[in-house]
Amino acid sequence: MISKESVIDDLNAVRSQSPLVHNISNYVVMNTTANALLAVGASPVMAHAVDEVEDMVKIASSLVINIGTLSRTWVEAMIKASKTAVERNIPVVFDPVGAGATSYRTVTSLQIIKECRPGVIRGNASEIMALVMEKGHTKGVESIVSPESAIAAAASLNRDTGAVIVISGPVDYIIDEQSVIEVRNGSPMMRKVTGLGCTATALIGAFMAVNKNFLMASAHAMTVMGIAGELAAKKSRGPGTMQMHFLDELYKLSGKEIASYYNAE
Amino acid sequence: MISKESVIDDLNAVRSQSPLVHNISNYVVMNTTANALLAVGASPVMAHAVDEVEDMVKIASSLVINIGTLSRTWVEAMIKASKTAVERNIPVVFDPVGAGATSYRTVTSLQIIKECRPGVIRGNASEIMALVMEKGHTKGVESIVSPESAIAAAASLNRDTGAVIVISGPVDYIIDEQSVIEVRNGSPMMRKVTGLGCTATALIGAFMAVNKNFLMASAHAMTVMGIAGELAAKKSRGPGTMQMHFLDELYKLSGKEIASYYNAE
Amino acid sequence: MISKESVIDDLNAVRSQSPLVHNISNYVVMNTTANALLAVGASPVMAHAVDEVEDMVKIASSLVINIGTLSRTWVEAMIKASKTAVERNIPVVFDPVGAGATSYRTVTSLQIIKECRPGVIRGNASEIMALVMEKGHTKGVESIVSPESAIAAAASLNRDTGAVIVISGPVDYIIDEQSVIEVRNGSPMMRKVTGLGCTATALIGAFMAVNKNFLMASAHAMTVMGIAGELAAKKSRGPGTMQMHFLDELYKLSGKEIASYYNAE
């Protein structure tokens, strides 16, 4: 199971292997997530053309799909890349940004999950709820999501898809058929910087590249993300300094800091 | 009319209501403006697919249209979203980035203004001039724009469109049929950071969501923008630190600071 | 030939002329490169629509083409803009991001080079190698690129295309038919910030606008880039602070600093 040591081992593996992480992501966060992947030790590449996504994913160690600013040609490329990845056992993580906000996002998310079989799905509680509600498992007001109902939705989504489900929030929950890991790191200031949820997804992609146990890989990524955020928040006056310090902390994060801030179970 | 107190009231309203601001904007500034909207207390969403912009704008409290990196499918989405917004009394602010630089930008800007009826149009002096010149009201060299001729152009554009016109520059002018408000905040260093004009437009969007008097909403947004820029410039060595401090200052901006730096009439 | 004085002269020319640099670039770096161009004293514009690229490039002083996140309509615009630029003697610099990684990138790069005749091509060693290997000049493993073989590839690419070739790395090589200039500035920390290679290309664009000797313009740009990076790295704890300080240093860079850090031959 997850431990201080397992987090440190995987972070060291990312740093030493520097896996190529292929991102088909959104316009808002591409720069941020590329920088976060570099800071954690991975090698990011962004490529979305239908003419090349299959070739690109074949040389990658993992694939990150994020629908933050989706449109038709991008979704086509996401599906093409994901299918190629899954055929070749290249890990795929999916971020259903804004699922539930528009029907296009919810329907597209469900299509991607069905056709592409991502190994991990990461969202906030209302996004995960939306994916399950749409399928008729749950009814309720998505704006009031208790941890319990989000975890129940995640368990349902895991049963239907086989994917590890990550719900990020004040406490992050990482869920498969047998376990619910809770990661209690991070800072409220992280919500004032755009795209840190997308960054979490990208970091999960980096950790899936070095650890084929996706439950562990996801929990390790969320722990590293959360501790870097916590350390950065202490040094920050506001969201501008936060964004900068977050990258520095991710880059410098030591085994000692991980051991000292580790708060998962 | 505008006062220290009215600025503070609207900023507090943005912070407490956290309005959802839908942006159809450009690739260069999406990250920056999303961060600025978060810092000021609003909730940004970026969505441009023709398949979802109508659904997205329906749940938003205001809409920001920015043609900085326009192309055909994006313009189609901008018009679709704006029409839906106007039908539903959701405020729309339009930023004609680069109007006058190419005929495509000028023509598209005029089409958007005509078909979508934005409540506010914000640009620099030469962009506002270009929109009026194109319509035959004015002839002149746009590179030499005196405040007087820019204000005259804005008054003309206001008469034709009904929109509040905001001309940003060393002094910002906010203009409707009856008033010209001058906001004298900001710093020359703001021009060395890309996209702060676009950020001003996005902040106007946030303030329109909480104040249906668009003249006041725009003047309040420009004041908050300018004071945050002024405070940030004092702490900055150059445009890198400026970008970071601007977000921090926007996030932390206090009533006391507004009262102390307020310089509008 | 290159000297401290020639670097300072060109930097002063960029700052005083503030050339309009038209970029058709990638989603990841648009914000970063726009900020770097502003910091160095140029005026960036980003425009990619086939409906306007010809009009935009006609008013520009140079054109930067970067295929980092290429797709068909973007490539169409790149070729259209480049042809117009070359017809009008407007300098063009080309960045073949990821050439060799996918066949689409390599083939597109060769097409752009053939049809558009850029004055300068800048890439890392493996990208430059890929452009030459594809043409049958070289066989080998591109992941192991010695400086000697990269320089040989660059010389071959220069013979075929007439373009000045810039290979960036720990040492930057600027190559034409007669010279190989070596620039020994920079810091390893620059590789931990996404898009600084693209920034180098954009800065070359700015310097080509003020110096029609493209060998010199490129060497000057790489020197300014490298010294700013070196100064920034000294102040930085990690890639977050690095990104910020790099813009500040580029903005503030003095003749004295250039004279003190200059290390080219």
Provide the token pair at A130.
């939306």
**Is B25 near chain A, with CB under 8 Å?**
no
CA atoms of A156 and A149, how far apart (whole Å) = 10
pLDDT in tens, C209-233: 999 999 999 999 999 999 999 999 9
pLDDT score of B254: 98
Helix (H) or strand (E) holding A57, with range, is helix A53-58
Reported residue count of chain B is 265
CA atoms of A238 and A58, how far apart (whole Å) = 40
Q: With contact defined as beta carbons under 8 Å apart, do C101 and A43 qualify?
A: no
Provide the token pair at B111.
């089409």
Q: What is the DSSP letter of C119?
A: S
Please give the average per-residue pLDDT across A50-62, as a whole number.
Answer: 97
pLDDT score of A201: 98
Write out residues 226-265 of C within 8 Å (CB-CB) of B. Answer: 243-252
Q: Are strands C120-124 and C164-168 parallel, antiparallel or unpaired?
A: parallel
Contacts of C241 in chain A (CB under 8 A): 244-245, 248
pLDDT score of A137: 47
pLDDT score of C183: 98
Helix (H) or strand (E) holding B15, with range, is helix B4-17
pLDDT at A106 over 80: yes
pTM for the predicted model, two decimal places = 0.96
**Interaxial angle between packed helices B4-17 and B214-235, expressed in degrees from 0 to 180 and rounded to the nearest 10:** 90
Q: Which residues pair with B168 in a beta bridge?
A: B124
Q: For chain C, how many structural domains are there in total?
A: 1
Strands (E), B133-228: 164-168, 172-175, 180-183
Please give the average per-residue pLDDT across A211-220, as a whole number.
Answer: 98
CA atoms of C120 and C213, how far apart (whole Å) = 11
CB distance C38–B69 less than 8 Å? Answer: no
**Is B46 near chain C, with CB under 8 Å?**
no
Please give the average per-residue pLDDT across A144-152, as a whole number.
Answer: 86
What φ, ψ does residue C49 adopt, rounded to 5°?
A: -70, 135
CA atoms of C46 and A49, how far apart (whole Å) = 20
pLDDT at A126 over 50: yes
CA atoms of B130 and B106, how far apart (whole Å) = 7
Query: Among partner residues C44, C55, C249, which is closest to B102 by beta-carbon distance?
Result: C55
CA distance A41 to chain C (A): 9
pLDDT score of B194: 96
CA atoms of C19 and A219, how far apart (whole Å) = 49
CA atoms of C153 and C159, how far apart (whole Å) = 10
Query: Among partner residues A32, A194, A240, which is closest to B248 by beta-carbon distance?
Result: A240
CB distance C192–A47 less than 8 Å? Answer: no
Q: Chain B interface, mutation test: which of C20, C28, C35, most B Cβ atoms within 10 Å?
A: C35
Short-list B117, B41, B39, B44, CA closest to B78: B117
**Interaxial angle between packed helices A196-208 and A214-235, expressed in degrees from 0 to 180 and rounded to the nearest 10:** 140
Provide the token pair at A75.
């979704």
Provide the token pair at A102.
């528009």
pLDDT score of C152: 96
Query: Among partner residues A102, A192, A241, which is closest to B52 by beta-carbon distance?
Result: A102
CA distance A231 to chain C (A): 13
Q: With contact defined as beta carbons under 8 Å apart, do C39 and B238 qualify?
A: yes
pLDDT score of C142: 42
CA atoms of A203 and A195, how far apart (whole Å) = 12
CB distance A49–C28 less than 8 Å? Answer: no
CA atoms of A130 and A137, how far apart (whole Å) = 10
Q: What is the DSSP letter of C99?
A: B
Residues of chain C with pLDDT under 50: 136-142
| B21, C66, C76, C199 from C95: Cα distances, Å | 36, 5, 16, 10
CA atoms of B42 and A12, how far apart (whole Å) = 38
Q: Chain C interface, mutation test: which of A29, A46, A231, most C Cβ atoms within 10 Å?
A: A46
Residues of chain B with pLDDT under 70: 134-144
Domain of A13: which CATH number?
3.40.1190.20
Q: Which chains touch C (3 or more CB pairs under 8 A)?
A: A, B
Give me the amino acid identity at A262.
Y
Task: Provide the sign of the torsion angle of the four alpha carbons B236, B242, B248, B251, taken in this order.
Answer: positive
Provide the token pair at B203.
């902040």
CB distance C194–A248 less than 8 Å? Answer: no
CA atoms of B53 and B47, how far apart (whole Å) = 6
- Secondary structure of residue B23 in the 3-state scheme: strand
- Chain A: residue whose CA lies nearest to C98: A45
Short-list C191, A237, A32, C36, CA closest to B239: C36
Contacts of B56 in chain A (CB under 8 A): 101-102
**Is A30 near chain C, with CB under 8 Å?**
yes
Q: Chain A interface, mutation test: which of B45, B72, B73, B231, most A Cβ atoms within 10 Å?
A: B45
B42, B48, B49, B54 alpha-carbon torsion, rounded to 10°: 60
Q: With contact defined as beta carbons under 8 Å apart, do C46 and C79 qualify?
A: no
pLDDT score of B140: 40
- Chain B: residue whose CA lies nearest to C40: B192
Q: Chain C interface, mutation test: which of A21, A23, A27, A30, most C Cβ atoms within 10 Å?
A: A30
Helix (H) or strand (E) holding A35, with range, is helix A30-40
CA atoms of A78 and A84, how far apart (whole Å) = 10
CA atoms of B102 and A9, how far apart (whole Å) = 55
Please give the average per-residue pLDDT across A52-63, as a whole number.
Answer: 97
CA atoms of A156 and A151, how far apart (whole Å) = 9
Say which residue the tokens 């997804």 belong to: A201
CA atoms of B92 and B80, how far apart (whole Å) = 12
pLDDT in tens, A61-75: 999 999 999 999 999
What φ, ψ does residue B94 adopt, rounded to 5°?
A: -120, 135
Contacts of A243 in chain C (CB under 8 A): 240
CA atoms of C65 and C77, how far apart (whole Å) = 10
Short-list A146, A56, A160, CA closest to A109: A160
- Secondary structure of residue B66 in the 3-state scheme: strand
| B39, B64, B117, C5, C171 from B124: Cα distances, Å | 24, 17, 19, 37, 42
pLDDT score of C168: 96
**Is A180 near chain C, with CB under 8 Å?**
no
Q: With contact defined as beta carbons under 8 Å apart, do B192 and B239 qualify?
A: yes
CB distance C32–A31 less than 8 Å? Answer: yes
**Average pLDDT over chain A, rounded to an integer:** 95
What is the domain range of residue A151?
A: 4-261
Q: With contact defined as beta carbons under 8 Å apart, do A217 and A173 qualify?
A: no
| A92, A201, A204, B73, B116 from A165: Cα distances, Å | 12, 11, 11, 34, 42
Q: Which chains touch B (3 or more CB pairs under 8 A)?
A: A, C
